[in-house]
Amino acid sequence: MTKTITLPYTEYQSLKQIKQRYEIIRDFFELESFQTPTVKNSKKIIKAMKETNLYTNEFLESLGRGLQESSYLSKTK
């Protein structure tokens, strides 16, 4: 038995976009989640990201703290 609901077209478009974004994110994590990083030095990662000028210092500092806790990366001081 199929049930039908009616909703405005704009709401349909919004839900469709959300679904597409979710699928992109899900697909990304399915592909990337369990791969070993090619660079295991957190300082090198932060330095490379900083050189792009795409990230704020606050973000890079936060990322650095997170990478220090990562079990996948080498511990450097």
- Per-domain residue ranges of the chain: 7-35, 37-77
Average pLDDT over residues 67-76: 72
For residue 53, the SS3 value is coil
β partners of residue 41: 74
**What pLDDT score was predicted for residue 40?**
82
pLDDT band at 77 (very low <50, low <70, confident <90, very high): very low
Residue 26: which H helix or E strand, with range? helix 9-32
What is the C-alpha to C-alpha distance for residues 49 and 5, in angstroms, rounded to an integer?
Answer: 47
In degrees, to the nearest 5, what angle opens at C-alpha 38 toward C-alphas 37 and 40?
70
Give pLDDT tens digits for 16-67. Answer: 999 999 999 888 877 766 666 678 888 999 999 999 999 999 999 999 999 8
pTM over 0.75: no
Residues 74 and 49 sit within 8 Å (Cβ to Cβ): no
